[in-house]
A and B are shown apart, each in its own frame.
Chain A
Amino acid sequence: MAFSPEQIHKLASLAKLRVEEEAVEVISSQIDNIMQLIDQMEQADTSGITPLSHPQDPVLRLREDVPTQTDMRDEFMVLNEHSEAGLFMVPKVID
């Protein structure tokens, strides 16, 4: 299957990436090649097989409901240049 430029742009927009117009062709052919490799999966008969999400099928461990947090706000805020008044700042969000 070949990827249309629209498909590439749609994927890129879901992933918040930009694909420049001049790169669309190269990227779609690369992804095409990868998908051809992936399509080899069709060779396997997987009917009746349960999907495997976690190696060895473990069960979730649950922890006790005890807060043990220490206040790390100051350490977090210095991780970027944009924070103000203890808040992470982004361009204005309009709903």
Chain B
Amino acid sequence: MAEIRLENLTKDFGGLVAVADLNLVVDDGAFIALLGPSGCGKTTTMNMISGLETPTSGEIYFDDQPVSRVEPGRRNVGFVFQNYAIFTHMRVYDNLAFGLRVRKPRPEKAEIDGEVKRVAEIVGVSRILDRRAGRLSVNDMQKVALGRSMIVNPAIFLLDEPFSNLDAAFRAYMRAELKRIQSEVGQTMVYVTHDQVEAMSMADRIAVMNLGVLQQYGTPGEIYDAPENRFVAGFVGSTQMNFVPAALVPLGLRGGVNGRSLTVGIRPESIRIVDAGAPEATIGARVTLVEPLGAKDVVHLAFDEYDVRAIGTPGERPRIGENVGLALDPGRVHMFDDETGKVVR
């Protein structure tokens, strides 16, 4: 329900720069993911948005209002922590009611009661309202954490890897639930994760970060098919992209090279395994390992001194040690400058 704008946001912990000059705009009502490995600055960014940390420089705007000097309680944000941080010594009911009870002026008891029951219904904890929060299952704690933040109707919702502790089936369920709730209520959501599958499946746009620097900000499709630098290309994709020096790959290079050293990147699913010497084969390689994954195989091949992975069909499994040809789809080849890491088009 509010647009978030980060301008030149920097957080310096006396030597360690956690977030460097971050510029980002999150549209009103959008669901974006902050994706990156540990230490990339995503949690620090979230803390600054919520107010738990103050930026060293730069500014944060909610709907054009600067908020970096505003107390967390006044920013109208909700925050779900990775370990939920529910109030274990209280009942579920009191956890949900907390946000309303500390409001000034304090709402009527009946009103609080109505709201608690409403939210409990939405997240699915109506039956355990009287239970002590410390004695819940992990899944239920999650729901309570969500409900507790929801009850105050924040304009912006921040979630820090909220589902990483859940079992896989429940995680998938919660992801769907979250998107449903968000599309109904229309809050702006910022979702932190290191799981790129999660980010790709949930977010409208993804902000990929590494070492405090924003690498790319785009839709999942853009991130996947048009990575802007080598880091993004390598980070996203369940079987990692292959990187090989451009000099080894005989492709008709688009445009001039200007003497720069380049690396070619291509995703395993864009490589077809054909017979060695077949006309479509761009390069040849030798099979070193086959990982059967059921619906597909991941075939490891030795190309020069590099390990290249390709996706094969189980019916046509090559033998280990066999020399085969690899057909690279030219439309799906990316080239990266070795010095800057940026993509070359």
**Chains A and B bind each other:** no
Chain A residues engaging chain B, CB cutoff 8 angstroms: none
Which residues of B are in contact with A by a Cβ distance under 8 Å? Answer: none
